[in-house]
Amino acid sequence: MQKLGMGQAINQALREEMQRDPRVFLAGEGIGVSINDSPMLPTAGLIDAFGPRRVKDTPVSEAAIAGLAVGAAAAGLRPVVEVMFNPFFTLASDMIVNHAAKLRYLSGGKTSFPLVVRVKSGAGFGAGCQHSHNLEAWVAHCPGLKVVMPATPRDAKGLLKSAIRDDNPVVFIEDMGLYFVPAEVPDGDDTIPIGKADVKRPGRDVTIVTWSKMLGVALEAAARLAERGVEVEVVDLRTLTPLDTDAILTSVRKTGRLVVLHEATRTGGFAGEIAALVMEKAFADLKAPLRRVTGPDIPVPASPPLEKFYIPDADQVVAAIEEIL
Amino acid sequence: MPISTRMKLDMLRTMVLARQFEDSLTLLCREPGKIAGMMILATGQEAVGAGVCAVLNADDVIITNHRSHHHLLARGADPKALMAEIFGRRTGCNKGKSGTLHLAVPEVNALCTTTVVGAGLPIAAGLGFAQQYESRDAVTVCFFGDGSTGEGSFHESLNLAGLWRLPVIFVCENNRYAGAQSYAEHTPVASLAARASAYGMPGESVDGNDAPAIAEATLRARERALAGEGPTLIECMTYRWHGHGEADRQRYQPADEIAAWKKKCPIERLAKALREAGELTDAELAGLWAEAAAIVADAVRYAEESPWPAPEEALDDVWVV
């Protein structure tokens, strides 16, 4: 077992999938020669290993990058393209939302679009709201796109391998804060199925449903509450689309209490979807009203104390749980 | 390479079929309840599809737009499957998911079609990239209108294709209108072909009603692409006889302008040239029209007799499962 940051784990997945399948190629801004040469980054060293034919540095041109993926996928390749920061998704979004997601349907199932759009996301690096903006709920609102948001290096590697092998378009959202947090990753071809949540900590008293970087916040809150005898179950969704409704409902039926935790802003956030699911399917099992812990409805600010205020923390999660216990 | 008489006759047949196909749609879409949605036709622009597709190989790929019927027919798409799709029937080429606007016919390497103006261009870059990546002996043709050149996707795609020398032929079908705007109302330069120089590729403006001239230009661009020299922008100067859609009353298009362009009909022009060269008799020309009329009548009958999709079929084809 090796210890890797999520960036390194993604790098391994890309490397192994490129070795396995010559149709896999990468494209994006600074994915070959980068202004940041940290070995912890997902595409570090890949151009040396695979050359510029398969690791394509593009102009600053998000629509063309995403269109490249759509066209190349239609023609039988397996593109993995990168959107440098989540807010730039808007520049690529016509190709992803109107094309990657819809063209198969429009063809009556005749053409498929096996592509992966890797999106670097997450607040916490002081860059402000045009580099930090979690848009997963937008993407999850588009039928035809799978949406994956891993929280651990192992999940990231296994899910990215599955995404590259998937015949559907997958939006794979990586929180950049996780690139630098090492954790154990199994050796070998360890794939993780898209659409399966994972109980990262079992518990009987209350369920936290979360994903991506907020898993760490959930686990910290759970550890603190455990000292007081409150057993929190932490369900890491890992995938928003397709949504593992069984995993959510099974946990909520067991604990009777639910907190949904995400970094994205509150209104129209994906927590609302999970809340609606639970109200429709497990209302009678709830012992208390559910709670959402989310970013506030503001753009992500740049200054450290302001940004810290934005990002949900364990104190807020503990407080939310205390309200419903 | 000169365009042979046989190729010219094939182009004429293709244009006559497209005209018959779309003229029938002009009538059918006025019948209440017959065809849902918009009806967007390329009447008068048939030379572009016929001329370009005449010199493509089976392995070449095209991507077209909302005004696609003449491209797809020129590529050899089955008129019955197209018509059934336009009628929204289960037997349509896309099982009723597309309708007339986004007809995809992978059987003729029209893998996908987009109505989002300018959106075919980045996808064409991707299609061409796949051909280059796998060293396929094939090119991609992207059909788009003059209106597309106002989109950012035009710039991004030509820049990338020029930079990477992708085997793409960008065919701008300049029909002088984008929606209700005339060319001069949406573009400040006289020639779109001139824009090619900004992307390191040749640009050529050709008479868009002269099918053999379009074929020759396409052939040059195709040879260039296959030689690894990269993309070409071809601007076909033509005219939109009808409104943006069939419901459009064209109040903004001067009647004398329309009349003048109808005199430049691409079908009459090629037929006249072939007749004068002694390669086509009046009887043969009449035969082409009769043949096309029969094909279209058969397609309409097929569409009208085809079943509707069951409502729950709407749930199919989102995902590869």
Residues A44 and A150 occupy one common structural domain: yes
The 10 Å CB-count burial string (b at 16+, else e) for A212-225 is bbbbbbbbebbebb
Residues A228 and A260 occupy one common structural domain: yes
CB contact (8 A) between residue B129 and residue A70 = no
| Interface mutation target, options B123, B306, B315, chain A, most CBs of A under 10 Å | B123
pLDDT, one tens digit per residue, over A252-311 is 999 999 999 999 999 999 999 999 999 999 999 999 999 999 999 999 999 999 999 999
Is A191 inside any structural domain? no
Distance CA A24, CA A18 (A): 5
Residues A26 and A119 occupy one common structural domain: yes
Residues A131 and A229 occupy one common structural domain: no
Does the ipTM exceed 0.90?
yes
Is A190 inside any structural domain? no
Task: Supply the range of the domain harboring residue A242.
Answer: 198-324
**Which residues, other chains included, contact A91 with Cβ-Cβ below 8 Å and sequence gap of 6+?**
A62, A63
Distance CA A185, CA A178 (A): 14
Average pLDDT of chain A? 97
Q: What pLDDT was estimated at residue B2?
A: 82
Residues A7 and A152 occupy one common structural domain: yes
CB contact (8 A) between residue B94 and residue A108 = yes
Residues A255 and A232 occupy one common structural domain: yes
- Tell me if the bond preceding A143 is cis, omega within 30° of 0: no
Residue B95 CA, chain-centre distance (Å), reads: 21
Q: Which residue of A has its CA nearest to B314?
A: A105
Residues A181 and A129 occupy one common structural domain: yes
Q: Per DSSP, which regions of chain A are E strands?
A: 2-4, 24-28, 55-57, 78-83, 116-121, 146-148, 170-175, 183-185, 198-201, 206-210, 232-236, 239-241, 258-265, 291-295
Q: What pLDDT was estimated at residue A323?
A: 97
Distance CA A59, CA B152 (A): 14
Q: What pLDDT was estimated at residue A3?
A: 97
CATH of the domain at A207: 3.40.50.920
Tally Cβ neighbours within 10 Å of residue B315: 7
**Packing angle of the helix pair B46-53, B266-276 (nearest 10 deg):** 60
pLDDT, one tens digit per residue, over A53-109 is 999 999 999 999 999 999 999 999 999 999 999 999 999 999 999 999 999 999 999
Tell me which residues of chain B, numbers 159 to 188, contact chain A at a CB-CB cutoff of 8 Å. Answer: 159-160, 163-164
Q: Please tell me the distance in Å from A139's CA to the nearest CA on chain B.
A: 15
CB contact (8 A) between residue A74 and residue B112 = yes
pLDDT at A314 over 80: yes
B104 interaction partners in chain A (CB closer than 8 Å): 103, 106-108, 110-111
Q: Per DSSP, which regions of chain B are E strands?
A: 61-63, 140-145, 168-174, 177-178, 181-182, 203-207, 232-237
CATH code given to domain B5-310: 3.40.50.970
Last residue of some domain: A141, A161, A185? A185
Is A267 inside any structural domain? yes
Among B160, B316, B318, beta carbon nearest to A64: B160
Q: What pLDDT was estimated at residue B1?
A: 67
Q: Is B90 on the interface with A (CB under 8 A)?
A: no
**Structural domain count, chain A:** 2
B129 interaction partners in chain A (CB closer than 8 Å): 68, 71-72, 77
Residues A108 and A208 occupy one common structural domain: no
Tally Cβ neighbours within 10 Å of residue A188: 6
Residues A139 and A229 occupy one common structural domain: no
Is A17 inside any structural domain? yes
CB contact (8 A) between residue A71 and residue B63 = yes
Last residue of some domain: A185, A215, A243? A185
Instruction: Report the pLDDT averaged over residues A168-176.
Output: 98
CB contact (8 A) between residue A94 and residue B126 = no
Among B61, B160, B319, beta carbon nearest to A61: B160
What torsion do the CA atoms of A191, A197, A198, A199 make, to the nearest 10 degrees?
A: -170
Among B94, B123, B319, beta carbon nearest to A70: B123
Tally Cβ neighbours within 10 Å of residue A200: 20
| Interface mutation target, options B101, B319, B321, chain A, most CBs of A under 10 Å | B319
Q: Please tell me the distance in Å from B304's CA to the nearest CA on chain A.
A: 19
Nearest C-alpha neighbor of A136 from the set A207, A192, A87 = A87
CB contact (8 A) between residue B127 and residue A69 = no
Tell me which residues of chain A, numbers 164 to 203, contact chain B at a CB-CB cutoff of 8 Å. Answer: 166-168
Q: Reduce the DSSP state of residue B35 to 3 states and report it.
A: coil
Residues A217 and A143 occupy one common structural domain: no
Is A144 inside any structural domain? yes
CATH of the domain at A97: 3.40.50.970
Residue B40 CA, chain-centre distance (Å), reads: 12
CA torsion sign, B52 to B54 to B57 to B58?
positive
Last residue of some domain: A161, A185, A209? A185
Among B92, B134, B157, beta carbon nearest to A67: B157
Residues A25 and A157 occupy one common structural domain: yes
Backbone torsions φ then ψ of A103, nearest 5 degrees? -70, -30
Among B93, B102, B124, beta carbon nearest to A71: B124
In degrees, rounded to 5, the angle at the alpha carbon of residue B301 between the alpha carbons of residues B300 and B302 is 90
Per-residue pLDDT of chain B (321 residues), as tens digits, is 689 999 999 999 999 999 999 999 999 999 999 999 999 999 999 999 999 999 999 999 999 999 999 999 999 999 999 999 999 999 999 999 999 999 999 999 999 999 999 999 999 999 999 999 999 999 999 999 999 999 999 999 999 999 999 999 999 999 999 999 999 999 999 999 999 999 999 999 999 999 999 999 999 999 999 999 999 999 999 999 999 999 999 999 999 999 999 999 999 999 999 999 999 999 999 999 999 999 999 999 999 999 999 999 999 999 999
Q: What pLDDT was estimated at residue A11?
A: 98
pLDDT, one tens digit per residue, over A191-231 is 999 999 999 999 999 999 999 999 999 999 999 999 999 99
